[in-house]
Amino acid sequence: MADAEEKTNSCGTICLKYLLFIFNLFFWLAGGAVMAVGIWTLVDKSDYISLLSSSTYSAAAFILIGAGAVVVFTGMLGCCATIREQRGLLIVFFVLLLLIFLLEITAGILAYVYYQECFPLCYQLNAELRADLKERMVQNYQQPGQEHITRAIDHLQQDLKCCGSNSSADWREGAWIHTSIASKRLVPDSCCKTPTEGCGVRDHPSNIYKVEGGCISKLEEFILQHLIILGSVGLGIAFIQIVGMIFTCCLYQSLKEEIY
């Protein structure tokens, strides 16, 4: 009878080990994905970031990389604790999971409260940032020493299918339009739906992107969409962590029973 009970406990422990190991594998992959998003933001979207005077968005990317690294470390620690069946490591793993979970919940609540307080203006870039973005786009485009700004604006207008900071008419105020580089263009060639050399001489809606609110509104929409995606992923990871904490407690208890 005792042998049967010991065998049952052993089978239960083995099942819990496999379940917790699978959880840690998914958790580790989730941390890697968060790091990848942060790196992708800095590398692929660095042009967008260079147009913003605020460092908030680049800081957010670094926070994602840091958070992903912590999750990857926690996942590796969980795998070691599971394989080696060390209750001390399981306790450390559980505490780390709990801390990450509490931080995620706190951040989510604060974000929700902030959103409710500032609605409906919270989805808009603040006035100073909007003015600065317009100045960078209109005054620095195709200017000496501003090649990175020029490249960023061209990518922004093509990727988001927009023209000008607030509208295509903004380009009439720019320093670029009065130089020989413009060559009678009314807007940059990157405003064109089908970019070709000199296509910016015609600013008809059939030729260029005419978007209400211009590139600023499109950039706001882009940022908001990605924040929603990141928030959803974070919420999903938080609920997965609850499962991981339950598995950790069960495995800890099972190992304790086998010892005694």
* pLDDT tens digits, 232-245: 766 777 777 787 78
User: Three-state secondary structure along the chain?
Assistant: CHHHHHHHHHHHHHHHHHHHHHHHHHHHHHHHHHHHHHHHHHHCCHHHHHCCCCCHHHHHHHHHHHHHHHHHHHHHHHHHHHHHCCHHHHHHHHHHHHHHHHHHHHHHHHHHHHHHHHCCCCCCCCHHHHHHHHHHHHHCCCCCCCHHHHHHHHHHHHHCCCCCCCCHHHHHHCCHHHCCCCCCCCCCHHHECCCCCCHHHCCCCCCECCCCCHHHHHHHHHHHHHHHHHHHHHHHHHHHHHHHHHHHHHHHHHHHHHHC
Q: CA–CA separation, 105 vs 119, rounded Å? A: 21
- Residue listed under structure tokens 């922004």: 156
Q: Among 60-64, 106-110, 170-174, which is the least confidently predicted range?
A: 106-110
* pLDDT tens, position by position, 199-229: 888 888 888 888 877 888 887 777 777 766 6
Instruction: Give the length of the chain.
Output: 260
Residue 56 has pLDDT above 50, yes or no: yes
Amino acid code (one letter) for 98: L
Q: Is the peptide bond before 120 cis (omega within 30 degrees of 0)?
A: yes
Residue 26 has pLDDT above 60, yes or no: yes
pTM higher than 0.85: no
With cut-offs at 50, 70 and 90, classify the pLDDT of residue 43. confident
* pLDDT tens, position by position, 249-258: 887 777 766 6
Q: CA–CA separation, 111 vs 148, rounded Å? A: 33
